[in-house]
Amino acid sequence: MTYRIYPNKAQFDQLHWARKMHCDLYNAAMANRRTQYKRFGHSVNYLEQQNCLPEFKKVWIEYAELGSHTLQATLKRVDFAYKRFFQGLGKYPKFKAKRRYSGWTYPDQAGWKALSNGKNGYLELRDLGLKIQMRGQARTWGTPTTCTIFFRNGKWYASITVQCNPIRQTGTGSIGIDLGCKDAVTLSTGEKIAKPDFIKEGHKKVKVVSKRLRRKRPPNRNKKVKGSRRWKKEQKRISELQGKISRQREDWLHKTTSEIVSGNSLIGGEQLNVKGMTRKANKGKRKKQKAGLNRSILDVGFGIVGDLLSYKSAEAGGFYVESPTRTLKPTQRCAKCWELTPKTLSDRVHICSNPDCKHVEDRDVNAAQVNEIWARGLERTSLDAELPSSTDCGSMKQLGAQKRQKQRLQRSKSL
């Protein structure tokens, strides 16, 4: 749950000071890892850095003011960046510029308090001695566990996680979904949810302002030229617009996913490789086309649809499962006879190539139906589909067991 916080001028400066301090610590920890490795071939781990903190605070006494758990959390961020790199998930971690550093985290209940019952209230940050007004509304409220303070688009926010007893309800139906570029979400019932207009509108506005921005004098840090006042003004305008678009998008995603969850206890989606899908096309004509596709994928925020559905259905006591897109091929498989019909991106209708079936259905609806069927564990062939692996829903294992049982039953029936 993210709240916007409204610091006054003095508090605002203090928050920025703390952000700078955390950024410095982040970069120092990064430098420590780099030099230790380069000079002595020694890879520093998180624990080593954490144990240095008390000494560190003696030398840089300013850090004594900040909560020690928050400093540890910042070191964890460094650790996390390196772990991602070692696992091949990210690039080699870079130093972060102060103006790009987002904020810091209170990893447990120490050092801060939310004086709120889920609605507007105050946020107390004990290490900084601050009590800041905050606004927002949580759908469900419980015991606050962690708090992350961050600065984005000129505004301060507090992201608070709470442990709560959810009150989400779900229907008994099952449904399949397909995410696409033309219609954002297609349901197996044939219903299509269009991409919201505000995204396109927002981008138009950003384009207009960017054009104005290009006519103003930008800063050049190498030549030590500051940006003109008008440049700053336009820059601010752009970040406000982008902030607005991202808030609207988030709102839309929450509403859409909540609606899907509220009617269905079993939801079949598909594994999306957003990173792969949005990878830049380097050569030829496809470049522009791919850029457009990327824009629409990122616009709608598909990357988090799966996460939202997963936690929301878990809260409601339902299940969200993702089909293995590569082996199942929902866009090519026929929802009626389960045969594969190859298609290109531009084929919008599924016409089954199986002469006994000849099933005709909208491409996306068909794919959503395939996902639903897969989710219900009713594959008609002995296709060895992998079981969903990465969902943080605790009862996933149960469902997996159920699924395997069903598969076994089916196999024994067909024998």
Judging by beta carbons within 10 Å of its beta carbon (0-12, 13-18, 19+), is residue 408 exposed, middle or buried? exposed
- In the complex with Zn ion, the residue whose CB is nearer, 105 or 323, is 323
Which residues contact Zn ion by CB under 5 A?
A: 334, 336-337, 352, 354, 357, 359
Smallest distance from the beta carbon of 269 to Zn ion, in angstroms?
A: 22
Which has the closest alpha carbon to 189: 210, 168, 174? 174
- Which C-beta is closer to Zn ion: that of 297 or that of 335? 335
Q: How far is the CB of 338 from Zn ion (least distance, A)?
A: 7
Q: Which is nearer to Zn ion, 22 or 336 (CB)?
A: 336
From the CB of 166, what's the least distance to Zn ion, in Å? Answer: 40
In the complex, minimum distance from the CB of residue 340 to Zn ion, in angstroms, rounded to a whole number: 9
Nearest approach in angstroms of CB 406 to Zn ion is 22
Tell me which residue has tokens 């039953």.
409
Rounded Cα distance, 383 and 380, in Å: 8
Q: Which is nearer to Zn ion, 305 or 365 (CB)?
A: 365
Name the minimum Å distance from CB 365 to Zn ion: 14
Query: Would you say 123 or 334 has its CB closer to Zn ion?
Result: 334
Minimum CB distance to Zn ion smaller for 352 or for 396: 352
